[in-house]
Structure 1
């Protein structure tokens, strides 16, 4: 166990703070957060700023090649070290302090309705797919290229196609 455990409930907002001007993944998240903060406000200034952040979101989505819709329920502290190809369904829920690598899909399937619910401090390896109405528990690890179509309990490691539980995190 680490000396500095990452919380599955309290977002670490410093993980999302842009470190320089060219920090595409953090700028994409910043545009999502700013747009969401203005949602529901009815002043002309708020509507103008919401459009500004929507344009910023489009720009950084093109740069990162990530498909994370505005309004997606994402807990604070998300890390996207390599956001290329990340696709998140708008109905999916992602807990705080998660780590998602490149080419990950969190979405639905054609024959099972419902989107995934990802717990807090879940690490998802490159190329993994989390599909359908599954729940991934807090502190779980999803291996690279895994295809998760069943629930993953808290603190467990899932890998393979289809993903099997292979140990504890």
Structure 2
């Protein structure tokens, strides 16, 4: 594992340097890097540049999170465009929420839309998830929320802290903190 990582970082060092320069002010970016590193169970001894370059090299989903963080902190259109040219994004992962806390993790971001009013810290989202608007209302997600594969969270609902929406769950009604929800939760 360590040899593969060293080879990937060496091969992509020049692109990593550009990403590091673009991300120099950071914001929540380094919290995301540490989160992804911990979840992926990668070697703890690696420095920031190695971690950033390896994550960008290995996971397109991380690139989308990185680009979202650049948008959040007001990076120029040129800087974001340069980043997208050097590090192509996962084309079917769309993150349009402006207010997202630290440590966002997206596992298999294929066909995933994240468009909420606000999202707290420690969000974990799996593939084919839709978190989105219903007319003029958008969801609010608390801290520590996990949304499993294929789940839909639609409209002006609130997902409380540390709740879990199970695979293929459909939520259109508030979920209290610490709850696990699967199936349909519809507003009547």
TM-score for both structures, normalised by structure 2: 0.65
Separation in structure 2 between the aligned mates of residue 35 and residue 56 of structure 1, nearest angstrom:
16
Q: Is the 8 A contact 1:108 1:133 kept in 2?
A: yes
After superposition, residues 49-68 of structure 1 pair within 5 angstroms as 49-53=79-83, 55=84, 59-62=88-91, 65-68=92-95
Alignment gaps of 5+ in structure 1: 1-10, 40-45, 165-169
Bigger relative contact order (CA 8 A; separation at least 6): 1
Q: Unpaired segments of 5 or more residues in structure 2? A: 1-29, 38-51
- 1:28-70 deviations in whole A, cap 9, x for unaligned? 111111232235xxxxxx55324434x45993042xx11113x
RMSD: 2.6
SS for the counterpart of 2:121 is coil
More helix by share: 2
Partner Cα separation in structure 1 for residue 87 and residue 117 of structure 2 = 20
Q: 1:84 to 1:139 in 2, by over 3 A?
A: same
CA distance in 1, matches of 2:72, 2:86: 11
* Structure 1 segments (4+ residues) deviating >4 Å: none
Q: 1:163, CA displacement in angstroms?
A: 6.1
Residues paired across the two proteins, number: 141
Residues 27 and 139 of structure 1: CA distance in aligned 2, closer, same or farther (over 3 Å): same
